[in-house]
Amino acid sequence: MLTSILVFLAITAVAAGVGYAFLVRLPASRIPPKTMRYLEWICRYALALIFLFAAWEKLQNPYAFASDTYAYRAVPPSWATITGIALPAIEVLAAGALMTGLFWRGGAVVLGGLLVIFIAALFQAILRGIDINCGCFGKESNPVSFRLIAEDELLLLCALFPLWIDHLRRTGRWPRR
């Protein structure tokens, strides 16, 4: 069972790396710079708002979130309690960084890393046949499913896209139109 989880985690990490590498090599000259800028801001703010909303719901009752975390049966109870308290704070800080622009690259990397962890947790729950709610949005959470994994992967793309735009700017490959 642990081997399957590690394989999935490795595949997801490789897919994220390959996806980012593909984005880095994608020619940006075909898309108008203004459109790219709008997409970058939409990705940053949408991701930040989603994580702020999720964190708010978790902060309302951290012990319920700790219980949701423990229901995944992936961490011991003491870690679930720590996670129930620390994870919403990390989400708020990273989302705030994305929204304010202060350390936004770090915020995007942290939220992207959290999404990879969430994807792995969802997958292992499905693989083990654990019938639980995801715990993503507190009381508003949905049952664990492959649809949630797909949603998290789309959010992962939203975390990677602004990093790609920033890479284009810093390497001088940003279109000059």
- Per-residue confidence band for 77, with pLDDT thresholds at 50, 70 and 90: confident
Q: Give a three-class secondary structure readout of the chain.
A: CHHHHHHHHHHHHHHHHHHHHHHHHCCHHHCCHHHHHHHHHHHHHHHHHHHHHHHHHHHHCHHHHHHHHHHCCCCCHHHHHHHHHHHHHHHHHHHHHHHHCCCHHHHHHHHHHHHHHHHHHHHHHHHHCCCCECCCCHHHCCECCHHHHHHHHHHHHHHHHHHHHHHHHHCCCCCCC
What pLDDT does 96 receive? 95
pLDDT at 154 over 80: yes
Choose from 34-43, 78-87, 107-116, 136-145 the range with maximum mean pLDDT: 107-116
What pLDDT does 5 receive? 58
Q: Which residue has the higher pLDDT, 28 or 57?
A: 57
What pLDDT does 69 receive? 85
pLDDT at 153 over 80: yes
